[in-house]
Amino acid sequence: MAFVNIDAPVGIRYRRQNVTNFSRDQEKILNLLAAIPASQGGKKEAWMIRPLSGPDGSCPQFLADAIREFQTFWKAKGALRNVDGVVDPGQRTIRKLNELASGGAIVPAAAGFVCGPNVTNQVI
């Protein structure tokens, strides 16, 4: 997937403030989220049939929730600083969405994650 740009913010800032929300930009964010697996904060499995965007100026609640969930997921991993519920042009959330939709990043393992038995002594 090629790098996707948006012309104006998409979402509902802090669950209260509607932003520009061009329908064409909502489509782009929906496509990015639909290309990212749930294990990476996306909606690939949940949106087997991708939902439709809202009209210009109005972000559907499901899209606002998906943006917030994505930001919350990646803030917990240390990749995003702010959970405001909005994808702004050229900022961290759109960059992270693009990175993941193109197959870039992998979710880091949780602290204390063990892949298998400790064979350090045997190897030495």
- Condensed to tens digits (0 to 9), the pLDDT of residues 75-122 reads 999 999 999 999 999 999 999 999 999 876 554 444 455 566 777 777
Q: Say yes or no to pLDDT of 68 above 80.
A: yes
For position 46, what pLDDT does the model report? 92
For position 111, what pLDDT does the model report? 47
Q: Say yes or no to pLDDT of 57 above 80.
A: yes
Q: Report the pLDDT averaged over residues 59-78.
A: 96
Q: Kindly report the average pLDDT of the chain as a whole number.
A: 89
> What is the DSSP code string of the chain?
------SS-EEEETTTEE----HHHHHHHHHHHHHS-GGGT--TTTTSSPPPP--TT---HHHHHHHHHHHHHHHHTTS-S---SEE-TTSHHHHHHHHHHTT---PPPPTT---S---HHHH-
| Residue for token pair 């520009």 | 20
Q: Say yes or no to pLDDT of 4 above 60.
A: yes
